Amino acid sequence: MARSRKTTASPERLLKCPTGIVGLDNITEGGLPRGRPTLVCGGAGSGKTLLGMEFIVRGITQFGEPGVFVSFEETAEELARNFASLGFDLDGLVRRRKLVVDHVRIERSELEETGPYDLDGLLVRLGTAIDGVKARRVVLDSVEALIAGLSNESILRTELRRLFRWLKDRGLTAIVTGETGDGMPTRHGLGQYVSDCVIYLDHRVSHEIATRRLRVVKYRGSRHGTNEYPTVIDENGLSVTPISAVGLDYPVTSERVSTGVPRLDAMLGGRGFFRGSSILISGTAGTGKSSLAVALADSTCRRGDKCLYLSFEESPEQLVRNMRSIGFHLDRWRRQGRLRISSARPTLHGLEMHLSSIHKQVKEFESDVVVIDPISNMMRIGDSDEISSLLIRVVAFLKGRGITTLLTSLSASGRVVEQSEGGISSLMDTLLLVRILESGGERNRLICVLKSRGMSHSNQVREFTVTSGGERLVEVVRHQGRALVGSEREAHGDEGPLATRKRTRREARR
């Protein structure tokens, strides 16, 4: 007799409700828990109200889920004016019966506990609003204002527990915002009631620069990113750029792009950089890093591609004027729309805002090559770990779009400069080192290729000169066991093997 097999049903996976907020859905692996309340806590100005409103508006516009936003602090008119700057037409959504914005006025001075306290009035009002638009999403901002004037903690907890159970029973995906307290996510310990998902927002000042962070404190029933993630608030709303969302699955190609310096191309297997690769030029002040970066930009524009040049030291007009003295006429490429020079002081924004600006400009300009000159200036607004994290995300973003990236880094004078100030040398596909050699009463530039992944490259050190006709590389001449550069090389009457072969041919013809 055959034995009957017992079958066990596999447990249902937790359903997710996408927020539509850039980066947040990556961290939470799909969004907030559907049909459950989520606590969003943080200090003043951390972005709690913005996150809640984006959750509602993007739910309507991107996922077709109507919503209700209940505010205990701002009126509907104030919210409409504030969010109009982000392009959110709250009044239009209300007219289309997709959104209800309700302001519940609470004056602490008028609160008086004269009898049993309950939230029946709020639940009736909330239920009417939800039924009116058939809402799927709800935000209560901020529930702290609702309970701040009450002293009976046992009644307060009972009613809050009933509120959150009411939201769950109706299958609503809800966000409840609250102010942080001492050692607790919120002042009144709301975390224990909204325990399915807790998101913490932080607004801090570091190196005199304001920065924002987001962290998922807990998320029951789901994996999630547990680190602190940089957060940006700009004209497009709130966005999070998680480093964990940056993968290593970007496309590669064997196509080459010229460096703009023929003899440097020869040092890189005769054809230059790989398209879509990352290049770092490291060296001390005055070694010609910017001129090499401009040579790549000029070469890019000559072949009809677009280059975005991000300068953190010079204004666009100053860069154009200075590079004209060595034979680069960048203004014509700007007029033709092939070159965009964007200048900003590093201390103007925090690191996250700079990252957001780079993303926007690259997408808007549709760049083929991006130059960042120099990355070392970023050290003024963050420590080495923060700079490294930023550059990892920048390089990964650009590689994912197949964009060739060139970074320059200023190394401190007198240091061994075989690694950059940001500590990102290992991330680069090609690493060029430029340095100064003092000899014979002169300071002369030298260049070498420390590494270039995926291609054969020269292991020689070449003399590097910057003239009115551009950059020129010449081989180092050795005489009696000593390297000759600059005027000593010229006095010796030799510019390397090529000049020697030419002189030999001339003598043979004679």
431-451: average pLDDT = 85
- Can you name the residues that pair with 464 across neighbouring β-strands? 445, 473
What value does the mean pLDDT of the chain take?
81
CA distances from 271 to 76, 300, 403, 407, 460 (A): 62, 14, 17, 20, 17
Selection from 253, 251, 241, 191 nearest residue 392 by Cα: 241
427-442: average pLDDT = 84
84-89: average pLDDT = 89
- How many whole angstroms separate alpha carbon 308 and alpha carbon 370? 5
70-81: average pLDDT = 91
pLDDT of residue 185: 57
Confidence of residue 96 (pLDDT cuts 50, 70, 90): very high
77 or 379: whose pLDDT is higher? Answer: 77
The residues, any chain, with a CB within 8 Å of residue 216's CB and separated by 6 or more, are 27, 28, 197, 198, 199, 200, 224, 225, 226
Chain centroid to CA 120: 45
Alpha-helical (H) ranges within 345-486 are 351-365, 384-400
Selection from 401, 419, 402, 399 nearest residue 410 by Cα: 419
Q: Take residue 387 and report the two structure tokens written for it.
A: 């700079």
Q: Can you list the domains of the chain with their CATH numbers?
A: 16-242 (3.40.50.300), 256-429 (3.40.50.300)
State yes or no: pLDDT of 309 exceeds 90.
yes
- How many whole angstroms separate alpha carbon 442 and alpha carbon 437? 8
State yes or no: pLDDT of 2 exceeds 60.
no
What is residue 389's three-state secondary structure? Answer: helix
Q: Are 276 and 402 in contact (CB under 8 A)?
A: yes
The residues, any chain, with a CB within 8 Å of residue 157's CB and separated by 6 or more, are 193
320-339: average pLDDT = 93
State yes or no: pLDDT of 449 exceeds 80.
yes
Lowest mean per-residue pLDDT among 182-186, 204-208, 255-259, 311-315: 182-186
Taking residue 220's Cβ as centre, other Cβ atoms within 10 Å add up to 11
Selection from 416, 358, 374 nearest residue 280 by Cα: 374
258-265: average pLDDT = 92
pLDDT of residue 356: 76
326 or 496: whose pLDDT is higher? Answer: 326
Class of residue 327 by CB neighbours under 10 A (exposed 0-12, middle 13-18, buried 19+): middle
497 or 30: whose pLDDT is higher? Answer: 30
pLDDT of residue 111: 46
458-471: average pLDDT = 83
344-364: average pLDDT = 79
Q: Is 433 left (phi over 0), alpha (psi -120 to 50) or beta?
A: beta
State yes or no: pLDDT of 1 exceeds 50.
no
Q: Take residue 260 and report the two structure tokens written for it.
A: 């703009």
Q: Are 239 and 22 in contact (CB under 8 A)?
A: yes
466-471: average pLDDT = 80
pLDDT of residue 162: 84
pLDDT of residue 443: 83
Q: Are 14 and 57 in contact (CB under 8 A)?
A: no
pLDDT of residue 411: 78
- β-pairing, 67-71 with 137-141? parallel
Chain centroid to CA 393: 6
12 or 160: whose pLDDT is higher? Answer: 160
The DSSP secondary structure of 190-241, one letter per residue, reads: GGGTS-SEEEEEEEEEETTEEEEEEEEEEETTS----S-EEEEEETTEEEE-
pLDDT of residue 148: 61
pTM score > 0.85 for this model?
Answer: no
